[in-house]
Amino acid sequence: DQQVKQNSPSLSVQEGRISILNCDYTNSMFDYFLWYKKYPAEGPTFLISISSIKDKNEDGRFTVFLNKSAKHLSLHIVPSQPGDSAVYFCAPKDGGTSYGKLTFGQGTILTVHP
Protein backbone atom coordinates (compact mmCIF):
# COMPACT_ATOMS: atom_id res chain seq x y z
CA ASP A 1 0.00 0.00 0.00
CA GLN A 2 1.93 2.99 -1.30
CA GLN A 3 0.91 6.14 0.52
CA VAL A 4 2.99 8.35 -1.76
CA LYS A 5 3.04 7.98 -5.53
CA GLN A 6 5.10 9.73 -8.14
CA ASN A 7 3.46 8.31 -11.23
CA SER A 8 5.95 9.62 -13.75
CA PRO A 9 9.18 7.60 -13.53
CA SER A 10 10.91 10.05 -15.85
CA LEU A 11 10.54 13.50 -17.40
CA SER A 12 12.51 15.08 -20.23
CA VAL A 13 12.55 18.86 -20.68
CA GLN A 14 14.38 21.36 -22.84
CA GLU A 15 16.67 23.86 -21.13
CA GLY A 16 14.84 27.09 -20.30
CA ARG A 17 11.40 25.47 -20.25
CA ILE A 18 9.31 24.58 -17.20
CA SER A 19 9.64 21.22 -15.44
CA ILE A 20 6.60 20.01 -13.49
CA LEU A 21 7.00 17.03 -11.17
CA ASN A 22 3.92 15.57 -9.55
CA CYS A 23 3.24 13.67 -6.34
CA ASP A 24 0.00 12.15 -5.05
CA TYR A 25 -0.65 10.87 -1.55
CA THR A 26 -3.39 9.03 0.30
CA ASN A 27 -2.65 9.67 3.98
CA SER A 28 -4.70 12.65 5.20
CA MET A 29 -2.44 12.86 8.29
CA PHE A 30 0.47 14.17 6.22
CA ASP A 31 1.02 17.76 7.37
CA TYR A 32 4.39 18.73 5.92
CA PHE A 33 5.83 17.97 2.52
CA LEU A 34 9.47 17.98 1.46
CA TRP A 35 11.15 17.61 -1.92
CA TYR A 36 14.59 16.06 -2.18
CA LYS A 37 16.97 16.05 -5.12
CA LYS A 38 19.44 13.23 -5.72
CA TYR A 39 22.43 13.05 -8.05
CA PRO A 40 23.99 9.67 -8.95
CA ALA A 41 26.33 8.26 -6.30
CA GLU A 42 25.30 10.94 -3.79
CA GLY A 43 22.80 11.12 -0.96
CA PRO A 44 19.53 13.02 -1.36
CA THR A 45 19.66 16.73 -0.54
CA PHE A 46 16.78 18.85 0.68
CA LEU A 47 15.32 21.17 -1.96
CA ILE A 48 12.12 22.84 -0.80
CA SER A 49 9.19 22.18 1.51
CA ILE A 50 5.63 23.27 2.23
CA SER A 51 3.39 23.11 5.25
CA SER A 52 -0.17 21.83 4.90
CA ILE A 53 -1.49 25.24 5.98
CA LYS A 54 -0.11 26.77 2.78
CA ASP A 55 -0.85 26.14 -0.87
CA LYS A 56 2.34 27.56 -2.38
CA ASN A 57 5.96 28.04 -1.45
CA GLU A 58 8.57 29.61 -3.69
CA ASP A 59 12.37 29.60 -3.53
CA GLY A 60 14.11 31.05 -6.54
CA ARG A 61 13.44 28.88 -9.58
CA PHE A 62 11.60 26.30 -7.48
CA THR A 63 7.93 26.49 -6.48
CA VAL A 64 5.91 23.83 -4.73
CA PHE A 65 2.11 23.81 -4.94
CA LEU A 66 -0.13 21.86 -2.57
CA ASN A 67 -3.76 20.91 -3.26
CA LYS A 68 -4.95 19.31 -0.02
CA SER A 69 -8.42 18.45 -1.25
CA ALA A 70 -6.93 16.51 -4.15
CA LYS A 71 -4.05 15.16 -2.04
CA HIS A 72 -1.68 16.34 -4.73
CA LEU A 73 1.47 18.40 -4.79
CA SER A 74 3.72 19.52 -7.60
CA LEU A 75 7.19 20.96 -7.97
CA HIS A 76 7.75 23.55 -10.68
CA ILE A 77 11.23 24.44 -11.89
CA VAL A 78 11.44 27.56 -14.05
CA PRO A 79 13.60 27.93 -16.04
CA SER A 80 15.01 24.42 -16.10
CA GLN A 81 18.78 24.05 -16.36
CA PRO A 82 20.94 21.05 -17.30
CA GLY A 83 22.26 21.00 -13.71
CA ASP A 84 18.72 20.24 -12.55
CA SER A 85 19.00 16.77 -14.10
CA ALA A 86 18.58 14.44 -11.12
CA VAL A 87 16.09 12.21 -9.36
CA TYR A 88 13.43 14.09 -7.40
CA PHE A 89 11.61 12.58 -4.43
CA CYS A 90 8.60 13.94 -2.62
CA ALA A 91 8.62 13.04 1.07
CA PRO A 92 5.63 13.89 3.27
CA LYS A 93 5.69 13.78 7.07
CA ASP A 94 2.90 12.21 9.08
CA GLY A 95 1.46 14.76 11.49
CA GLY A 96 0.64 11.93 13.87
CA THR A 97 4.36 11.42 14.48
CA SER A 98 6.21 14.37 15.94
CA TYR A 99 9.73 13.31 15.11
CA GLY A 100 10.00 13.94 11.41
CA LYS A 101 9.63 10.42 10.04
CA LEU A 102 9.26 10.78 6.28
CA THR A 103 7.61 8.59 3.64
CA PHE A 104 9.31 8.79 0.25
CA GLY A 105 7.77 8.47 -3.18
CA GLN A 106 9.39 6.33 -5.87
CA GLY A 107 11.13 9.30 -7.45
CA THR A 108 11.05 10.97 -10.88
CA ILE A 109 14.15 11.14 -13.05
CA LEU A 110 14.37 14.61 -14.59
CA THR A 111 16.57 15.13 -17.64
CA VAL A 112 17.08 18.69 -18.88
CA HIS A 113 18.51 18.84 -22.39
CA PRO A 114 20.72 21.78 -23.44
**Closest approach of another protein to the CB of residue 47, in Å:** 10
Is 20 in contact with 33 (CB distance < 8 Å)?
no
| Choices 13-21, 52-60, 70-78, 90-98; region in contact with another protein by CB under 8 A | 90-98
- Across the strands, what pairs with 82? none
What does residue 84 show for φ and ψ, rounded to 5 degrees?
-80, -10
The dihedral through the CA atoms of 106, 67, 46, 87 has a sign that is: positive
Q: Which is nearer to another protein, 47 or 77 (CB)?
A: 47
| Choices 38-46, 55-63, 66-74, 76-84; region in contact with another protein by CB under 8 A | 38-46
Give contact residues for another protein (rule: CB under 8 A): 4, 6, 32, 34, 36, 41-46, 49, 89, 91, 93, 98-107
